[in-house]
Amino acid sequence: MPVPGAALEQLGFLTIGLFDENDPGPGHQSTLRIIELGERLGFDSAWLRHRHLQYGISSPIAIMAAATQRTSRIHLGTAVTPLGWENPVRLAEDLATVDILSGGRVNPGVSVGPPLFYERVKDALYPDTGDLEDFTYERVARLLRHVAGEPASAFRGAEGFEQFSDRVQPHSPGLRSRMWYGGASVASAAWAGEHDMNFLTSSVVRAVDDKDTVDADDFATVQRSHIQAFRAAHPDGPAARVSQGLVVIPTDSATADQRSRYQAYVDARTPRTFSPQGPQRMLFARDLLGTSEQIAEALYAHAGFREVTEVAFALPFTFEHEDYVQILTDMAERLGPVLGWKPESSRSR
């Protein structure tokens, strides 16, 4: 449990990878350069958000494949891939392929439920089966089975001159242990634990449980309850892996202009954190802005943070490339050390 003097073990970051609709190339190249920078700075992981029909990364697996050829150490994850858009067999093939290319560094994070604004996209996505698709946890279970190497076909052997496998190929043996579930409720946290997954908890959680009774109006308290429910259901108990993803903006080396823009960004987003939002009573965490010492103080007071030993701090959505360079550099060189974190290269020293 992180407290002042105890070391944060894993430091990662999360990016949405924005791009210009009329010139998408530079935005994608910026994302790849940010991942390369993360490796040079010693980050343990880089995570990609998944955005369909928006101006953010729609194909994080393709970005990860490119990043495997530019990096050698940093782990690459998705936070998260909504499975409502995916065929579990095809996704398992892609994930295993990129994991092989990376040397075993892929950490797929997934979630379930109907695609966002499903009625708008149903005819394009599932024109013949839209009302029959299963968007329950079984969709995750199918993916897990295929990643683990369970049969995907009733036939294995030769058919003429061709050889066929009865399981997804290529098979990457260690990938199953690096599967993550991105959950925002007690139910999803417990399901992930029961199915031996790792757990991603972000800056958004539900303030209600399955019976629609309020757990609490305090984000950190609710997030802690999700982490505890996950570990209570997981075979590894307290040792089960959880990564927390708050928006964190250190300003140690920021210019006056950057600090002003960062403050305006946080100010615009803060009102939604005052109370649960919408019919599902979604709670949003406050963005953490300030010096590394100020952010560390806020984290150590955060009930959710005190339950984890690894984080994937989320980068703000709308900043410039140079802003991300400053933020990541301050995270790695100032905030990380304040939290007791060390780059992997120096941990054995």
Q: Parse the chain into domains and list their residue ranges.
A: 10-341
What is the phi/psi pair of residue 12, to 5°? -130, 175
User: What is the DSSP code string of 302-342?
Assistant: -TTGGG-SEEEEEPPSS--HHHHHHHHHHIIIIIHHHTT--
Residues facing 128 on adjacent strands:
none
pLDDT band for position 213 (50/70/90)?
very low
At the topology level, CATH places domain 10-341 in TIM Barrel (3.20.20)
What tens digit of pLDDT does each residue of 299-340 get?
Answer: 999 999 999 999 999 999 999 999 999 999 999 999 999 999
Prediction pTM value:
0.95
Q: At what angle do helices 186-194 and 219-233 cross, to 10 degrees?
A: 20
List pLDDT tens digits, range 259-289.
Answer: 999 999 999 999 999 998 888 889 999 999 9
